[in-house]
Amino acid sequence: MDSDRALLAELLPRLTQLSRTFNRGRLVEHAITASGLGLDQPSVSILTALQLAGEPLRIGEIASRLQVVGPHVTRQVQALEKRGLVRRVTDPADQRARLIAPTDAGTAAAEQYFGTMLGWFTEALAGWTAEDRSALGRLLGRFVDDLSARMAALDDEPR
């Protein structure tokens, strides 16, 4: 158990460094600029959430995936609608409800953003073996899932 603690103690500064690379390094902002989208980060976040979902989503579901409040998403969706990047569609499960779907232009914008990000990640991993890349994906995915589940359990505990 002490070896696990030592390993995790070594890992924590690296995770902090990764977080800084994403946040302070303004990775998302740089990718938005490099993509030439002319959008702000919240707009790109909504488009990418829709792209990753692969299906139209309710405002509340988008907010949940982005870990923000619904009114914030509503305002952003309205701005994206005006730009022709998303549209409202009828929810087949509830004809009264509306889902948010990307338009062709919205899908193209998300794909352009993803292409920029994936290009940078590909460059960063260029010297890695296929086995190392596979292990990274598998282990990082497992770690994020397990940590997210633990954090959700903490949120559910009485205070």
Beta carbons within 10 angstroms of residue 10's beta carbon? 9
Diameter over CA atoms, the chain: 57
Beta carbons within 10 angstroms of residue 38's beta carbon? 10
- Confidence at residue 61, expressed as pLDDT on a 0 to 100 scale: 93
- For 35, residues 6+ apart whose C-beta sits below 8 A from its C-beta are 109, 112, 113, 115, 116
Per-residue pLDDT of the chain (159 residues; tens, 9 = 90+): 678 888 888 888 988 888 888 776 688 888 899 888 899 999 999 999 999 999 999 999 999 988 888 889 999 999 999 999 999 999 888 888 899 999 999 999 999 999 999 999 999 999 999 999 999 999 999 998 898 888 888 877 776
In a domain, 141, yes or no: no
In a domain, 56, yes or no: yes
| Burial class, 100, CB count within 10 angstroms (exposed 0-12 / middle 13-18 / buried 19+) | buried
Domain of 87 in residue numbering reads as 39-124
Q: What is the pTM of this model?
A: 0.79
Number of domains in the chain: 1
In a domain, 22, yes or no: no
In a domain, 77, yes or no: yes
Give me 84's structure tokens.
């022709």
In a domain, 65, yes or no: yes
- Confidence at residue 87, expressed as pLDDT on a 0 to 100 scale: 97
- Residues listed for the chain: 159
- Alpha helices (runs of H) in the chain, residue ranges in sequence order: 2-23, 27-35, 41-53, 59-66, 70-82, 104-124, 130-156
In eight-state DSSP terms, residue 85 is S
User: CATH no. for residue 91?
Assistant: 1.10.10.10
Give me 125's structure tokens.
């991993």
- Confidence at residue 125, expressed as pLDDT on a 0 to 100 scale: 95
In a domain, 112, yes or no: yes
136: closest CA among 126, 128, 148? 128
